[in-house]
Structure 1
């Protein structure tokens, strides 16, 4: 094999690995975990942070790989997913299973080195995502509720990795990301409704792009905003938020709520896409605000 051919083969394999593990999604999960770690840590340990990032990516990557193995026939039906490594034929199921298994073992081992409770939550996350959420996606809209549990773990996982314990602080971080997932995934489900329908997935709470779904999106957006500013009240232990930062979080929430109301009024696909993008910006920026708020208060 020539050098150029070997390079092309390696590049292709890396691209398939990134698609199998959903690289961008996995990075966003790692970002949430790092934010949670920075919020919880008193004495920074780069080694633990590296273990959390690598272990977190491995666990998310494993979940996504197992998910694509289970849904390979459904993925082949949808335009959005038909070119993934398994349905396209570029990767065999056995290869994907081997990668997923190795990632699981690697992820659990790395998280266990940090502390056992972090590994435990990582194991719970992958079990719920693969064994409960994935099968339910073709059965009931309640799959989004079930999927919100493993989806809410990363932000909280960082705090647990930093402190070695689960308390009201980690619980609050969990609830923020838990409630956020409903407007996020329902907006995504609305936007990609036809593609999901082709694959046989039930993503919207009423099963339709109707007023009932839009109302629930608004309600869960409001819950997300309220939970996100709770730390300003001083009732969440060591997890605190200044009035200035809480105001910024609230304003960001109002932006997301604006798009949720816009979707309710118009019920257009483009509005759902705008809400989905607004929700991604929301969770990213509030995590940054939380972290910056902590360290600014420490420096002042």
Structure 2
């Protein structure tokens, strides 16, 4: 009977792969990349479908590799937190050696596929993995500035799509990068706030002051405002071929105010419930923004 129960409860290979590559996070990153690609494409052809497929697979491989290496490094720390103690490595369902092999395979495969798209796409993909694994991950236990460092690889996917479509990094890709860069701060500080006690067990200090205080909440508001400003810049003709109509800019601005409302609410209420709500709103915000940008382009 014990053997039978063990067989029933043992995670499948697929579920372990989903967990160690953080599939939901990886797919959201791929979504950002595809949105950037659609914004960058000028004339659609059958070749674009192939490139889109390569971008999806290559993008997932790169993000998945980053998450695998991150979990290898943080295996012992993950075991200390309720949120992460059942991940494949601390739970023992995947060995460190097998995880490392998977990470290497995903990295090589992802880079090869993105290189097929174009060399600059592969280069930015490699930079993203390096910064996430070698800089952001170890800095999480050292300084709250880890969020600033992590915002760089976190902001690459949206602009990566543009680079994949055009083979060029310019003001357009830079604008997409800046929007997602500023978005990272309220998003991750909200997570750092409502998971503060859990993060503390592993020695992670994600909030700018290291505490759930008014200064942290105020900085969350300020970065949300910077994000809103960046998000409507394409409506004023400063961003090259990346353009947003006034109507869409108004919708994007309203979405930003929606997120700002919850950032202000966190400042007023100073509790985990408000922080969790802000985090959920932030995820909806960035997805809706990208959808609006794409729809705006194709309806013009």
TM-score of the superposition, structure 2-length normalised? 0.96
Structure 2 equivalent of residue 109 of structure 1: 112
C-alpha separation in 1, matches of 2:171 and 2:11:
45
Structure 2 equivalent of residue 33 of structure 1: 33
Structure 1 equivalent of residue 231 of structure 2: 228
C-alpha separation in 2, matches of 1:77 and 1:9:
22
Quote the offset at 1:42 in angstroms: 1.2
C-alpha separation in 2, matches of 1:27 and 1:165:
24
Quote the offset at 1:101 in angstroms: 0.4
**1:32-82 Cα deviation digits (max 9, x unpaired):** 000000000012310100111100000000000000000000000000000
C-alpha separation in 2, matches of 1:255 and 1:198:
33
Unaligned runs of 5+ in 2: none
- 1:60-99 equivalence runs, <5 A: 60-99=63-102
**1:239-289 Cα deviation digits (max 9, x unpaired):** 000000000000000010000000001101100000000100100000000
Among 188, 192, 208, the residue aligned to 2:211: 208
1:48 aligns with 2:64: no
RMSD: 1.5
Quote the offset at 1:168 in angstroms: 0.2
C-alpha separation in 2, matches of 1:10 and 1:121:
37
C-alpha separation in 2, matches of 1:9 and 1:235:
56
4+ long deviations beyond 2 Å: 7-11
Q: Give the length in aligned residue pairs.
A: 293
C-alpha separation in 2, matches of 1:182 and 1:203:
10
C-alpha separation in 2, matches of 1:43 and 1:21:
34
Partner SS, residue 202 of structure 1: coil
**1:167-221 Cα deviation digits (max 9, x unpaired):** 0000000000000000000000001000000111010000000000000000000
Structure 1 equivalent of residue 180 of structure 2: 177
- Change in CA separation of 1:90 and 1:42 when aligned onto 2, cut-off 3 Å: same
Unaligned runs of 5+ in 1: none
C-alpha separation in 1, matches of 2:266 and 2:229:
20
- Higher mean alpha-carbon deviation, 35-44 vs 76-85, is at 35-44
- Change in CA separation of 1:59 and 1:10 when aligned onto 2, cut-off 3 Å: farther
Partner SS, residue 87 of structure 1: helix
Q: Is the 2:217–2:266 contact (alpha carbons within 8 Å) kept by the matching residues of 1?
A: yes
Among 268, 283, 294, the residue aligned to 1:265: 268
C-alpha separation in 1, matches of 2:270 and 2:161:
37
Among 231, 240, 243, the residue aligned to 1:240: 243
Structure 2 equivalent of residue 14 of structure 1: 14
C-alpha separation in 2, matches of 1:99 and 1:10:
20
C-alpha separation in 1, matches of 2:10 and 2:110:
23
Q: Is the 2:158–2:177 contact (alpha carbons within 8 Å) kept by the matching residues of 1?
A: yes
- Higher mean alpha-carbon deviation, 10-19 vs 256-265, is at 10-19
